[in-house]
């Protein structure tokens, strides 16, 4: 079983698939799943490849695995210990872009399903929802598959996402939710002039700084249970022409807010607007991602029980990190949990995964699938 996951992961890594390119990964996945009884439905959009692989089950309910074949750029190739798409294995470590995020997890899920099918284990209906648009814009990927499933009344009962959720050991952490993201571009307007004649100008930086101080001091209230507090960070500030004697007529700021479900977009927007009420400012809001959370209950309990059975460890139900495609699935009312490898080298030069992690994750996925039950 571990060799199956290792071999599939290597084959996926060897297919360069920098977002939104799929690199032929989903065709390869189709060739592995077809003999197991899976039917592929393509829901491509724009330049994005999206595949829904479905195997009709012998038992009730539908369990889905969601993942992405696209990876982030490699960065300086000369700094990699091994070529990033070579899938080199040294001392039981698999090296390559996507090893942790998240071709390794895709390989483990396929290996788990293959093992169960080979033993003729009765299974629920299994779906794999695989996109090539997670690391990029995320506008034509998982959301398009969710729309298709909604339109055809084929939404799954629960979803596991193969994001690298764990810290030290496979199974030590699952993500049961993520904070939302709001980004704001603020342009503060003044009047350019000579610094020796301030009476004839209006310094845009002077206008911006009190407002930005008020934004930084906003009290976002008590966070939702299990979530970190809302974070508001002013990440960029730019004003002036570069000349020392020119009063700036414009000042540009960029604000990044990561909010928990205790806040709402409308509330966040109103708070920012209030802080800038006395300014001549243009505010552009982008609600990048919605916060989501899966409540404690049978689905999360089933996952943690499988982890305990296989790995013998207690699992933290976490909500940290950035955002993920789980937001699109959760918005459709589906319980979502993220469980993958450790995340120590994701998006880094020299990304890698230990082979024993693939073995453990495959065994956990196998146990989850085998014991999956739809709760009334």
Q: Which residues are catalytic?
A: 70, 134
CB atoms within 10 A of CB 208: 26
Q: Residue 312 forms beta bridges with which residues?
A: none
Helix/strand/coil for 312: coil
Element (H, E) at 110: helix 103-118
Yes or no: say if 5 and 23 are a contact pair by the CB < 8 Å rule: no
Residue identified by tokens 């503060």 is 188
The conformational region for residue 312 under phi > 0 = left, psi -120 to 50 = alpha, else beta, is: left
Angle at 138 between CA 125 and CA 236, to 5 degrees: 145
**How far from each other are the two terminal CA atoms of the chain, in whole angstroms?**
33
Contact 337, 174 (CB under 8 A): yes
Q: In what order do the strands lie in the sheet with 180-189?
A: 231-239, 250-259, 180-189, 281-289
Contact status, residue 129 vs residue 103, Cβ threshold 8 Å = no
Whether residue 364 contacts residue 3, with contact meaning beta carbons closer than 8 Å, is answered with: no
């Amino acid at each position: 079983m571990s060799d199956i996951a290792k071999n599939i992961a290597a084959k996926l890594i060897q297919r360069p698939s920098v977002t939104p390119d799929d690199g032929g990964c989903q065709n390869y996945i189709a060739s592995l799943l077809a003999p197991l009884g899976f039917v592929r439905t393509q829901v491509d959009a724009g330049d994005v490849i999206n595949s829904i692989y479905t195997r009709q089950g012998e038992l009730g309910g539908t369990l889905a695995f969601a993942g992405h074949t696209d990876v982030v750029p490699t960065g300086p190739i000369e700094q990699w210990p091994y070529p990033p798409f070579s899938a080199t294995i040294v001392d039981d470590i698999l090296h390559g872009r996507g090893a942790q995020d998240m071709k390794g997890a895709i390989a483990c899920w396929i290996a788990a399903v293959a093992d169960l099918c080979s033993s003729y284990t009765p299974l629920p209906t299994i779906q794999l929802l695989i996109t090539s648009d997670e690391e990029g814009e995320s506008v034509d990927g998982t959301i398009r598959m969710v729309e298709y499933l909604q339109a055809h009344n084929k939404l799954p009962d629960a979803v596991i996402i193969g994001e690298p959720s764990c810290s030290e050991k496979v199974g030590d952490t699952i993500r049961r939710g993520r904070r939302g993201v709001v980004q704001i571009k603020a342009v503060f307007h003044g009047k350019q002039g000579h610094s020796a004649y301030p009476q004839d100008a209006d310094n845009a930086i002077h206008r911006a700084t009190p407002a930005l101080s008020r934004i930084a001091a906003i009290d976002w209230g008590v966070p939702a249970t299990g979530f970190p507090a809302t974070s508001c960070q002013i990440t960029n500030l730019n004003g002036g022409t570069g000349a020392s004697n020119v009063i700036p007529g414009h000042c540009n700021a960029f604000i990044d807010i990561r909010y928990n479900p205790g806040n709402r977009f409308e509330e966040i927007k109103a708070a920012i607007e209030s802080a800038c009420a006395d300014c001549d400012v243009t505010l552009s809001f982008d609600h990048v991602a919605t916060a989501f959370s899966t409540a404690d209950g049978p689905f999360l309990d089933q996952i943690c029980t499988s982890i305990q059975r296989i790995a013998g460890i207690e699992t933290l139900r976490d909500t940290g990190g950035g955002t993920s495609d789980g937001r699109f699935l959760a918005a459709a009312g589906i319980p979502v949990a993220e469980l993958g490898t450790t995340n120590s080298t994701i998006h880094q030069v020299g990304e890698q995964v230990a082979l024993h992690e693939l073995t453990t994750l495959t065994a956990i996925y196998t146990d989850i699938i085998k014991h999956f039950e739809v709760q009334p």
